Amino acid sequence: MVMKMAELPIAPITRLVRKAGAERVSEEASVALVEILEAEAEKIAKKAVGLAKHAGRKTVKKEDILEAVE
């Protein structure tokens, strides 16, 4: 099995889960959340790129990201 390197660092994700109220967070839980967040971010980014291209731009703008999330 080939594991790819995570783009998002695990420590800040663990802190987010603690901030949400968890006393302890397993590394497996943090890694799982990182994988989910990265997958969702990639979907949003792809949609935002499509919106920018449709508008005739090469640059993805904040508005593209916000519209992609809606």
Q: pLDDT tens for residues 23-54?
A: 999 999 999 999 999 999 999 999 999 999 99
- Residue 26 is predicted with a pLDDT of 98
pLDDT score at 5: 75
30: number of Cβ within 10 Å: 22
pTM above 0.75, yes or no: yes
For the chain, percent of residues with pLDDT exceeding 70: 94
Structural domains of the chain, with CATH? 39-70 (1.10.20.10)
| Separation between Cα atoms, residue 17 and residue 23, nearest integer Å | 9
pLDDT at 8: 93
Mean pLDDT (the chain, rounded): 94
